[in-house]
Amino acid sequence: MLEAIVGTLGLVIGSFLNVCIYRIPRGESIIFPSSHCPNCGKRIRWFDLIPVLSFIILKGKCRYCKSPISPLYPAVETVCCLLAIASARVYGLSVSAFLLFLIGCILIYISVVDFKTYEMSVTSILLLAILKFGFEVSLKGVSKTSMTFMVLGPILNALLVGLIYLITRGYAMGLGDVLLLMAGGVGFTIRQAIVCNFIAFFVAFLYVLGLKLVQSILKGNEKKREIPFGPFISIGIFVSTVAGERIADLYYQLIIVR
């Protein structure tokens, strides 16, 4: 019952997050006007705004003009639902769980916007840093050690990408990538920073490999498209925030066994 309630709240917040993802980069208000079809401009009624379910009922098309609805909408809602349930399972009904959920939401926002526009807003990155600080304090409290990693964590986490940015003069990596790693690295230990960067680069490698494989099978003559690194960094940040130390422990155990 509790998971159903938490999951439903996750769906609702995911629906609102979709509004933010669509409107904020365009400089539009997230409150006015009310939800409407971007193609025909018709106002969307409440029964067509039910997260995920409305998309399925409408078969992914606008009720009025039949223009396709991006599958990104139900995808974001579903991920937020699972994120809410997972946060509650790991930390229970606590401040830590709520902050972890918000961290996940802001990372989703940053990832989708970066993927679509190749841009990251300083405001969203700053918000991530604040949420990370609050989350780390809620878990570890305020001590000399925890405050030390609040300062060192961002430097450790962004060191590699920062060097790449400086060496290539922003060609291989953008300043947004460096700032995102710094914000996400608040409170990170050196092991968490290593795990975060490894996951980011590894998932990016798998994505590029899969993309090349699909293109070779389809034999399409698609134009080369820049690949935003933000989504992969976000995955690394979230995984390392939740399980970075455990992943590092597991890795060291495997080495010792060998």
pLDDT at 180: 98
How far does CA 146 lie from the centroid of its chain?
24
**Contact call for residues 118 and 226 (beta carbons, < 8 A):** yes
Taking the C-alpha atoms of residue 82 and residue 28, their distance in angstroms, rounded to an integer, is: 28
pLDDT at 221: 58
pLDDT at 32: 87
Judged on CB neighbours under 10 Å (0-12, 13-18, 19+), 135 is buried
pLDDT, mean over the chain: 93
Taking the C-alpha atoms of residue 195 and residue 243, their distance in angstroms, rounded to an integer, is: 9
Contacts of residue 247, defined as CB under 8 A and 6 or more positions apart, other chains included, come to 195, 239, 240
Give me the numbers of helices (H) and strands (E) for the chain, helices first please.
9, 0
pLDDT at 229: 95
Q: What are phi and psi of 101, to 5 degrees?
A: -60, -45
SS3 of residue 60 by DSSP = coil
258 residues of the chain, pLDDT tens digit each: 788 999 999 999 999 999 999 999 999 999 888 898 988 989 999 989 999 999 999 999 999 999 999 999 999 999 999 999 999 999 999 999 999 999 999 999 999 999 999 999 999 999 999 999 999 999 999 988 889 999 999 999 999 999 999 999 888 899 999 999 999 999 999 999 999 999 999 999 999 999 989 888 887 656 667 889 999 999 999 999 999 999 999 988 888 655
Task: Please tell me the pTM assigned to this model.
Answer: 0.93
Q: Which amino acid is at 257?
A: V
DSSP state of 24: G
Q: What are phi and psi of 33, to 5 degrees?
A: -75, 180
pLDDT at 258: 56
pLDDT at 253: 85
